[in-house]
Structure 1
Amino acid sequence: MTTKTSKGARPEPLDARLDAIGKLPSRARFHLPGRERTVAMTLGESGVRWYAYDVIARRIGPAKPSRDGRQTPYRGHPVFVAQHATGTCCRGCLEEVHGIPQGRPLDKAELNYAVNLVCGWLTREIGPVAKTRTSRPPRSAMPAVPENPTGAPRTGRGLRASKSR
Structure 2
Amino acid sequence: MSDDWNVEEELKPLKLKCTSSDCKNGHHSYRPTPKQKAANTVGQCRSCNEMAPFEWERLHKLDPEDLDYTIAALKNELIRQHYWTNEIPQKVENYARRKGVKGMEGAVEKRIRNSMSPPANDFDGRQTPVEDSAKVNAVHFAQHATASCCRKCMEYWHGIPRYHSLTEDEISYLSRLGMRFISERFPLLTETGEKVSPIRKAGKSNTKG
Alignment coverage as a number of residue pairs: 133
Larger RCO: 1 or 2 (CA < 8 Å, sep 6+): 1
* 2:96 matches 1:3: no
Q: Deviations over 1:83-106 (max 9, x none)?
A: 111110000000011111111110
* 2:171 matches 1:115: no
Q: Deviations over 1:32-66 (max 9, x none)?
A: 32211121112101111111111111111012356
Q: Distance in 2 between the 1:43 and 1:11 partners?
A: 24
Indicate if the aligned counterparts of 1:28 and 1:85 stay in contact, CA closer than 8 A: yes
Counterpart of 1:98 in structure 2 is 158
Equivalent residue for 1:62, pick from 93, 99, 118: 118
Q: Percent identity?
A: 29
Counterpart of 1:74 in structure 2 is 130
Aligned-partner residue type, residue 91 of structure 2: R
Equivalent residue for 2:81, pick from 9, 17, 28: 28
Aligned-partner residue type, residue 35 of structure 1: K
Counterpart of 1:15 in structure 2 is 68
* 2:146 matches 1:86: yes
Equivalent residue for 1:124, pick from 175, 180, 184: 184
Q: Distance in 2 between the 1:132 and 1:66 partners?
A: 37
Structure 1 vs Structure 2 CA RMSD: 2.1
Q: Distance in 1 between the 2:166 and 2:96 partners?
A: 25
Counterpart of 2:193 in structure 1 is 133
**1:135 positional shift:** 5.2
**1:15 positional shift:** 1.9
Counterpart of 1:162 in structure 2 is none
Gaps of 5+ in 2: 1-54, 197-209
TM-score, normalised to structure 2, is 0.58
TM-score, normalised to structure 1, is 0.72
Indicate if the aligned counterparts of 1:4 and 1:110 stay in contact, CA closer than 8 A: no
In structure 2, the residue corresponding to 1:13 is in which secondary structure?
helix
Counterpart of 1:140 in structure 2 is none
Aligned-partner residue type, residue 50 of structure 1: G
